[in-house]
Amino acid sequence: MGGDIIKELKKYNLLGRSGSGFPTALKWELVKKAKGEKKYIICNCSEGEPKNFKDKFILENYPEIIIEGIKTALNFIDNSSAFIYLKKDYYTKFYKKLKKLSKGLPIEIVKKKGGYLGGEETVICQSLEGKRIEPRAKPPFPVESGLWNCPTLVNNAETFYCVGKIAKGEYQRTRFYTISGDVKREGIYELPEKYTIREILKETKNYPDFEFFLQSGGGAIGEILLPEELDKQVQGIGCIVVFDSQTNPFDLMKEWSQFFLAENCDKCTPCREGIYRINEMLNDKKIDEESLKDIFLTLKETSLCPLGANAYKPFETLIKKIIR
Amino acid sequence: MISIIINGKKIRTKEGKTILEVARENKIEIPALCNHPDLKPGASCRVCVVGIKGSKKLVTSCTTKVYPGMEVVTNSSKINKTRKINLELLFSQHREECSDCVWDSNCELLKLAKKYKVEINRFKDRKENYPVYQFGNAIQFDSSKCIDCRNCVEICHNQGVDFLEIKERGHLFQVVPSKKKNRDCIYCGQCLTHCPAGAFESVGEFEDIEKPLKEKDKIVVFQFAPSIRSSIGEEFNLPYGKIVTGQIVAALRILGVDKVFDTCVGADFTTTSEAEEVVERIKKNKNLPILTSCCPAWVKFVEQNFPEFIPNLSTTRSPQTILGGVIKTYWAQKEKIDPKKIFVVSIMPCIAKKFEIARPQLKVLGMNSVDYVLTTREFARLLKRHSIDFGKLKPVKPDRIFGEPSGAGVIYGVSGGVMESAFRTAYEKLTGNKVNNFKFKEIRGMKGVKDAEVKIGCECRKIAVINGLGNAKKFLQEIKTGKREGYTCIEVMACPGGCIGGGGQPMPTNDEIRSKRASSLYSIDEKKKIRKAHENPIVKKVYKELFSKNKKIAQEVLHTSYNKKNKGLVKKI
C-alpha cells in the first residue's frame, strides 16, 4: 500500500473509533510530519466504558486484521515501533495469540494500568512511562509529543481493524455496535456505519415493543435519546443501551455517578468535586437543580480531559427528557 | 515577535509564552490559584480559564501557549460563572481556618471569593474529618484544608524527597505522607510556601510564638539569621528586598528581650572553622569533596538517603548553633551568668532549624545551644500581635559584642554565599595571598547547579554550589556513578536560591522575589569594611581567649557529628 494508504483512508473518510471521531488520515499525517527521530504507535485496546465490548470482540475474532492495521502504520511512519495496550483481562486472554501474530514485527504487548481513565491517550503515555495515572494537559498533543516526548500515534483497536481491512482491500464501511440493556438479543454487531440507531435496532431484531428510552454512544458517557430521536447514527464508541421506560432514572444516575467517581483521576476541580457533589446529591436524594446546572456547565467548559467534559451529558439529557 | 489580541487589545509578544504570562506582563488580570512559577503548570484548579476564538471549550491560560493572531477573552459572563463555580467547589473541600492561616491577609482564595462573589459555604466541607499529620517537630499538614492542586507533591518530588504522595482512599485521591520506610520529610518547608490553601504550617506557627517572651526568669537572647534582614519587610508591605536589619533589632527591643545578636557573626565562626577543615582535608587529601553542613534539611537528606557521604559533611556547626554555643560559654563566662539561665532564640528563614536545635549532637556543656526557633513568618506575626508598626521603626544596632559581622557572614543567606565566604578565608590560609577580588560571579545567581574552578597556587580545584535538593540528589548520584569527579568543595542549600527562599520565609516566593532578597544581601557585603570572616575582631578574640586555650570547649562549640537516620516521627493528630 505504501503512501497510498492516506488516500485510501481519506477515500473512506475513516474516523477514529475511540469515540472522538478524529479523522484517521489527518492523525497519521500529523505523526508522519512531526519532527522526531523515534516515533511510537499505540493500539489502544483498553475499553473501560461500561456496557461496551467491541474491542474484545475484535480481538477475539479478528486479531490478524488488527495486526495488519498496525503493520500498515509501522510501514507508513518511519522509525516507529508499536505497543498494543490491553485491558488486564484482555491481556491475559489474548497475549499469546497477539504475540504469535506479531512475530517479527516491532510490536510490544503491554498491560493497561488504572481503570477507565487508563484508556485516555495521554494517560496511556503516562502509564507506559511508568508515571502517575492521570491525563496530561493538551497541547501538546501526542501526535507531536506523546510517549517519551516523541510523536505518537494512538488509535483504537477498531480503527486499526478498519485500516487492516482497507489495506487488504476488504473494507465494507462497517462499524461495531454493542447493544445491551432491555433487549432480547444483546451482543456485538458489525453493520454499515451509515445505519441509524433505529435501523440497527430493527436489523438486529432488538427494537422494543414497549415504551423505552436509550443511551447512545457509551454506557456511561452516552446521551439519552427518546424513540423519536433515533433517526441518527450512534455517537462515540457505538454503544446502544435500551431502557424500559419503567427504569428508575435516579438509580441509573447513581450508577453513572458512582462509575465516574470511581474512575476519574481527581486531578481537576470540576470533575473531582463536581462528580463528588452529583453523587452526594443522588445518595442523599436531595437534588439541588441550580447546583446541578452549575456543575454541568463547569464540567463541560473547564474539565481537563474528555471524561470530565462529557460526563455531564447522560445526566443532563436524562433529566431533560425523562424526569420531566 | 507575534501579535495577539486580548480583550480586543492588540498585544505584541513572543511566541512560546502562555496566555497567563502574556496577560500578566500586560497587567491584564487572570485569576490563578494552583499556578506557581517554580512549578510546571498542573492546570488542576481550572480557575484561570479564558475563551479563545475558534475553541468550543474554555481553555486554561496557564497551559495554553499564544500563537499569531490568537484572540483571547479573559472576561465574560460564562468565564466568570465557571470561575465562581470552580471556586465554590474548591471551597467545598477546604476547611476554612482563616484566623490561623499562613496566608494571613494575603490569601488568594479569599481575594477571589470576594471578587467573584463566591458562596464559600455553598457545599458542605467534605474534608471536615480529614486528619492533621505532623512531621517530626517541624511541620504540620492539615489535610482538611487541602484543595488537591498537588503543588506540594510536585515540589516534594522536585526536592528529590518524594515524601508526599497521592493515594486513593474510597474513590478519592488525596495527598498523604508516605508510609514507605525509606521516605521521610526533611523539613525544608517548600510544601508550605507552594501551597495556595495554607494546608501546611510549622509546628507552633500560631500557638507557640509568644513562648520566648514568657521566659521571665531567664535572660532571653535573640539572634537573627542573615537572610531575614532582606525578607521580613515584605510581611509589613515594604518592597521586596528592603533591608531592615535595624528595624528587626528595634522591634526586638520593644518586645523587651535582653540581648540581640546577629547570626551573621555565628556565620563568621562557621566560615573560620569550615575553612580550617577545608585546608586540613586538602592537605591530607581526605574526605573530599567536603560538603557544607549549615543547611539542616540537606544534612538530614544526606543522613537518610546518602549515608555513604556522611564522612564528607563538614563537621562544623551551623551559624545559629555556634553562636548559641559561644553565648552559653564565652559570653556567659564574661558576663558571669549561669549559662543555664540563658534562653537563646533564633529567628530563622527555615523550618528545619526547629529540627536542628533538637539534634542531640548539638549540645554544649549538656545544654541546648539554641533553645527556640521562630521562623521569619512567626516573628512577623509576633510583631503584628504586639501592634508593632515595623515599617516606621527607627533602626537600632544589635548588641555590640556579637552584633558586627563581616560581609562574608551576611551573604550566608544566599546560595553560593557559604562557598564564597569559605573561599575568601581558605584561599588566604592555603596560599598566604590576600583575596582582593571579592565578587565570585560564577557561584552567584539562582541557577540550581553552579560549577566553578578556582586556582589555588598552581592547582586548579573544582567546586560546585547547589540549591534545591533535587539538584543535589542528582549531583550525588552522578558522583556515585563517576559521571562527576574531582570536586573539592560542594555547597548545598535545600531551598531554591538558598535561605532567602527558605520554608520559613514570607510568601509568596518566586525567582524574582528571591533575586531581590539576594542582591540586597550582596549590597550589604559590598559596603562592609571587613568582608572576610576570619578578620572579624570578635572571631579572633574568641579564638584567642577561649578556643585556642580550651580545645575541648572549641570542639564542643564548633563541631558536631552525624549518623545514619531512620525515619522520624510521622503522626496523625
Pairing of β A80-86 and β A39-45 = parallel
CATH of domain A174-244: 3.10.20.600
Residue of A nearest to B124 (CA): A277
Predicted confidence (pLDDT) per residue in B96-150, tens digit: 999 999 998 899 999 999 999 999 999 999 999 999 999 999 999 999 999 999 9
Return the closest-CA partner of residue A269 out of A295, A287, A306: A295
Assess whether pLDDT exceeds 70 at residue A2: no
pLDDT at A1: 44
Predicted confidence (pLDDT) per residue in B428-467, tens digit: 999 998 888 888 999 999 999 999 999 888 889 999 999 9
Rounded Cα distance between B151 and B381, Å, is 25
Maximum distance among all alpha carbons in chain B? Answer: 80
Rounded Cα distance between B88 and B94, Å, is 10
Strand order from edge to edge, sheet including B132-135 = B200-202, B139-142, B132-135, B570-572
CB < 8 Å to B173, chain A = 265-266, 272
Predicted confidence (pLDDT) per residue in A235-262, tens digit: 889 999 999 999 999 999 999 999 999 9
Residue of A nearest to B45 (CA): A269
Predicted confidence (pLDDT) per residue in B478-501, tens digit: 999 999 999 999 999 999 999 999
**CA distance to partner chain A, nearest, from residue B121 (Å):** 13
* B366, B339 contact by CB (below 8 A): no
Examine residue B296 and say whether the peptide bond preceding it is cis (omega within 30 degrees of 0): no
Q: What string of DSSP letters covers B502-565?
A: -TTS-S---HHHHHHHHHHHHHHHHH-S--SGGG-HHHHHHIIIIITT-HHHHHHHHB------
Average pLDDT, chain B: 96
Task: Using alpha carbons only, give the angle B33, B39, B43 rounded to the nearest 5 degrees.
Answer: 45
Burial of residue B322, with CB atoms counted within 10 A of its CB: 0-12 exposed, 13-18 middle, 19 or more buried? buried
Examine residue B226 and say whether the peptide bond preceding it is cis (omega within 30 degrees of 0): no
CB < 8 Å to B47, chain A = 269
* Runs of H (alpha helix) within B173-295: 190-193, 245-255, 263-284
Q: Could you tell me the three cell numbers for B44?
A: 488542576
pLDDT at B256: 95
CB contact under 8 A, B126 and A276: yes
What is the mean predicted confidence (pLDDT) over A296-322?
A: 95
Return the closest-CA partner of residue B140 out of B103, B174, B191, B194: B191
CB < 8 Å to B172, chain A = 261, 266, 272, 276
Return the closest-CA partner of residue A270 out of A293, A302, A310, A238: A302
Q: Is A154 left (phi over 0), alpha (psi -120 to 50) or beta?
A: beta
Rounded Cα distance between B46 and A308, Å, is 12
Residue ranges of B 91-150 with Cβ closer than 8 A to chain A: 92-93, 122-123, 126, 147-148, 150
Burial of residue B428, with CB atoms counted within 10 A of its CB: 0-12 exposed, 13-18 middle, 19 or more buried? middle
Instruction: Report whether CATH 3.40.50.11540 matches the domain A4-167.
Output: yes
Rounded Cα distance between B433 and B420, Å, is 16
Assess whether pLDDT exceeds 80 at residue B20: yes
User: DSSP E strands: which ranges in B90-147?
Assistant: 132-135, 139-142
* Runs of H (alpha helix) within B180-232: 190-193
Write the single-letter amino acid at B278. Answer: V
At the topology level, CATH places domain A249-323 in de novo design (two linked rop proteins) (1.20.1440)
CB contact under 8 A, A268 and B46: yes
> Which residues neighbour B36 within 8 Å (Cβ) at sequence distance 6 or greater?
B151, B194, B196, B510
* A29, A73 contact by CB (below 8 A): no
pLDDT at B329: 98
pLDDT at B177: 98
Chain B interface includes A301 (CB < 8 A): yes
More confident residue, B318 or A219: B318
Distance set, CA A125 to CA A83, A105, A118, A119, A134 (Å): 11, 21, 10, 10, 10
Pairs across A and B, CB distance < 8 A: 87
* Runs of H (alpha helix) within A54-120: 54-61, 63-76, 88-101
Nearest to A270 among B89, B122, B173 (CB): B89
Rounded Cα distance between A145 and B324, Å, is 55
Write the single-letter amino acid at B367. Answer: M
Task: Using alpha carbons only, give the angle B471, B472, B473 rounded to the nearest 5 degrees.
Answer: 90
Strand order from edge to edge, sheet including A174-181 = A187-192, A174-181, A239-244, A212-217, A223-225
Predicted confidence (pLDDT) per residue in B292-324, tens digit: 999 999 999 999 999 999 999 999 999 999 999
Write the single-letter amino acid at B522. Answer: Y
Rounded Cα distance between B271 and B407, Å, is 12
Beta carbons within 10 angstroms of residue B55's beta carbon: 10
Q: Could you tell me the three cell numbers for B79?
A: 468565564
* A215, A253 contact by CB (below 8 A): no
SS (H, E, C) A149-201: HCCEEEEEHHHHHHHHHHHCCCCCCEEEEEEEECCCCCEEEEEECCCCHHHHH
Match 556547626 to its residue by C-alpha cell. B317
Distance set, CA B529 to CA A221, B92, B404, B406 (Å): 73, 57, 11, 8
The percent of residues in chain A predicted with pLDDT above 70, rounded, is 99
- Give the domains, in start order, of chain B with CATH numbers: 2-75 (3.10.20.740), 98-202 (3.30.70.20), 211-558 (3.40.50.1780)
Strand, coil or helix: B6: strand
Chain A interface includes B320 (CB < 8 A): no
CB contact under 8 A, B173 and A291: no
Examine residue A139 and say whether the peptide bond preceding it is cis (omega within 30 degrees of 0): yes
Q: Domain boundaries in chain A?
A: 4-167, 174-244, 249-323
Strand, coil or helix: A272: helix
Rounded Cα distance between B531 and B404, Å, is 11
Task: Calculate helix-pair angle for A88-101, A63-76, nearest 10 degrees.
Answer: 70
Burial of residue B214, with CB atoms counted within 10 A of its CB: 0-12 exposed, 13-18 middle, 19 or more buried? exposed
Examine residue B41 and say whether the peptide bond preceding it is cis (omega within 30 degrees of 0): no
Chain B interface includes A104 (CB < 8 A): no
Chain A interface includes B337 (CB < 8 A): no
pLDDT at A134: 84
CB contact under 8 A, A273 and B81: no
Would you place residue B170 in the very low, low, confident or very high pLDDT band (cuts 50, 70, 90)? confident
The tally of CA atoms less than 13 A away on the side-chain side of residue A228 is: 1
Q: Could you tell me the three cell numbers for B516?
A: 531581590
Distance set, CA A324 to CA A285, A316, A321 (Å): 17, 11, 6
Q: Which residues pair with A181 in a beta bridge?
A: A242
Beta carbons within 10 angstroms of residue B267's beta carbon: 32
**CA distance to partner chain B, nearest, from residue A68 (Å):** 36
Chain B interface includes A272 (CB < 8 A): yes
Rounded Cα distance between B419 and B490, Å, is 8
Strand, coil or helix: B318: coil
Would you place residue B334 in the very low, low, confident or very high pLDDT band (cuts 50, 70, 90)? very high
Assess whether pLDDT exceeds 60 at residue A313: yes
Q: Could you tell me the three cell numbers for A6?
A: 492516506
- ipTM of this model? 0.92
Q: Which residues pair with B60 in a beta bridge?
A: B49
Beta carbons within 10 angstroms of residue B15's beta carbon: 11
* B428, B532 contact by CB (below 8 A): yes
The percent of residues in chain B predicted with pLDDT above 90, rounded, is 95
SS (H, E, C) B377-423: HHHHHHHHHCCCCHHHCCCCCCCHHHCCCCHHHHHHHCCCHHHHHHH
CB contact under 8 A, A269 and B81: no
CB < 8 Å to A273, chain B = 89-90, 92-93, 123
Beta carbons within 10 angstroms of residue B129's beta carbon: 9
Q: Is B237 left (phi over 0), alpha (psi -120 to 50) or beta?
A: left
> Which residues neighbour B154 within 8 Å (Cβ) at sequence distance 6 or greater?
B39, B40, B42, B194
